[in-house]
Homo-oligomer: A and B are copies of this chain.
């Protein structure tokens, strides 16, 4: 029988439709983009999670869960956290990617 592939890259995993549906892929890519921009912007502004919590109204444990992908946030939480970091969210057609 054919060898079972045991280890592959993250890209291979993400592009395997038998394991990651297109919708999941969209969401995961979004979350990766989110986390990257969040952490980068927060640190570039010299803010700790506790300081961002104070400014945004979202508590530090929730921010930590966000940044470590431990939750699927609600959009109001996203707006609260992203706004003081200079970001917002937009709806765009799929083909623009």
Contacts and interface: CB of A to CB of B under 8 A. Distances in A.
Interface string A60-95: 000000000000111110111011001111111111
| Range class of the A interface residue count | 20 to 34
A29 to B, nearest CB: 9
Interface stretch (A2-10, A30-38, A42-50): A30-38
Contact of A78 (B22, B75, B88, B93): B75
B76 A75 contact: no
A74 B72 contact: yes
B87 A92 contact: yes
Given A30-B79, A74-B75, 4 more contacts: A31-B75, A83-B94, A87-B94, A88-B97
6 contacts: A23-B83, A26-B79, A27-B75, A27-B76, A86-B93, A89-B92
